A = this chain, B = another copy of it.
Amino acid sequence: MNTRLCRMLGIGFPLLAFSHCRDVVAAVSKAGGFGVFGAASMTPEELETALRWIDAEVDGRPYGVDLLIPENLAIRTEGGAGSATLLAQIPPQHRAFVQDLLRRHGIDPDGPVGDRHRGAPDRPAPYQRESGERLMEVAFRHPIRLIANALGVPPASMLERARTAGIPCAALVGAREHAERQVEAGVDILVAQGGEAGGHCGEVSTMVLLPEVLRVAGSTPVLAAGGIMTGRQMAGCMAMGAAGVWTGSVWLATAEAETSPVFREKMVAARSRDTIRSRGRTGKPARQLRSAWTEAWEGPGSPGMLPMPLQGLVSEPAMARINQAAEGGNAAARGLVSYFVGQGVGLVEGVQSCRGVVQSFMQEFAEALEDMQSLTAE
């Protein structure tokens, strides 16, 4: 394919793969897709290391970087994630709720966390404008072919830097009104992400949102996102008018992914109805695997969710302990394990390599095209 979007991104097959895992990003770009590295909540040093590694791996093949700089954030801070200012805002009942939840599942809430599950000690407070700017500085020092913002209109500095660098700036939208504002702000690529998507999402399904966004997008290319796990779905979205697809969950079940073996097993076992759109992980509605964690937060004994970024400061350290315990063989902890994943989890039948997934997409896409051509011939 040699569409306008393909030319913008330097690719021949418009399959974009969002991942927090550098191995997935590189593997997808090497296999003929386009990896997008989700760098939100990294330190600039971590991002620098990751992008250097990706650059060496992809050998000139295109990839992108995705940041999460929300337009509206209840709490802004200059301090790091562990700063006293921020931690002091977590109410005691929320601390107690989590400690009790962990204890009831056989996890010591104050026990040590190993390196593999602990974040960088100087990790910045998540989703802050300032740390986002520092990550952008790092990203633009590398040969990225796309910069994306995952929540809301990108800050002007992102749009300006992208224009100067001559690379497109993409933004995720979950409603038609958001798309209108993004087009007005000058975004180059819209990602219409339906409510079945993993992570932060709206309520409108991909089937409805995609045509809605296309109607207001004008000449801006629109990628379809939300629930897309196969090349047939990609063909379907492009028949509807999408310029390509933006995928996420499908890469969580790959051999290269950052996901824990426990979560991958849960993905394979899960049905499409086993996800929930909940504020229990980040403070904003995000789709994730239903587990004892989401049930506790959504249930009657819940202290209620804190605004972003406080909820994440409660959930992430707990999740590190949960994952560590589950991987260590604690069956009760296993029940708490969850992660961002879309309804498409119901289509996961096993763990594959990233290259295998890209190749399946290409093959199924070609089959769908052939079937469509023979439809009218029949």
Residue positions of A touching B, CB distance < 8 A: 1-3, 175-177, 194-196, 202-209, 211-212, 215, 226-230, 232-233, 235-241, 271-273, 342-344, 346-347, 368-369, 371-373, 375-376, 378
Residues of B within 8 A of A202 (CB): 273
In the docked arrangement, what's the CA distance between A237 and B208, Å?
Answer: 12
B204 touches A1 (CB 8 A): no
Structural contact, A376 and B346, CB atoms closer than 8 A: no
Contact A237 B238 (CB under 8 A): no
Q: How far is the CB of A118 from chain B (nearest CB, A)?
A: 35
Contact A344/B208 with A1-B378, A372-B369, A378-B3 known, Cβ cut-off 8 Å: yes
Tell me, in angstroms, the Cα distance from A226 to B212 when the chains sit together: 15
Task: Select one of B205, B215, B237 contacting A236, CB under 8 A.
Answer: B237
CB pair A204 B238 closer than 8 Å: no
Contact B176 A272 (CB under 8 A): yes
Contacts of A371 in B (CB 8 A): 239, 241
Inter-chain CA distance A183–B119, complex, in Å, is: 49
- By the criterion CB–CB under 8 Å, are A272 and B343 in contact? no
Quick check: B372 and A208 within 8 Å, CB to CB? no
Assess the A207–B233 pair: CB atoms within 8 A.
Answer: yes
Please tell me if the beta carbons of B236 and A204 are within 8 angstroms of each other in the complex: no
- CB of B207 within 8 A of CB of A375, answer no
Whose C-beta in chain B lies nearest to the C-beta of A206? B207
Complex: A226 Cα to B273 Cα, angstroms: 16
Nearest residue, chain B, Cβ from A228: B207
Which residue of the partner chain B has the closest CB to A378?
B2
The contact sample of 13 A-B pairs, CB cut-off 8 A, is A3-B378, A176-B272, A205-B227, A208-B343, A208-B344, A211-B347, A212-B346, A215-B347, A236-B236, A236-B240, A239-B369, A241-B368, A369-B372
Q: Are A227 and B208 in contact (CB under 8 A)?
A: yes
CA A370 to CA B369, docked complex, whole Å: 11
Which residues of the other chain, B, contact A203 by a CB distance below 8 angstroms? 273
Closest CB-CB distance, A4 to chain B, in whole Å?
A: 9
Q: How far is the CA of A342 from the CA of B209 in the complex (A)?
A: 12
Contacts A239-B236, A375-B1; is A346 near B204 (CB within 8 Å)?
A: yes
Contact yes or no, A208 B239, CB < 8 A: no
Cα A176 to Cα B348 in complex, Å, equals 13
Q: What residues of chain B lie closer than 8 Å to A378, measured between beta carbons? A: 1-3
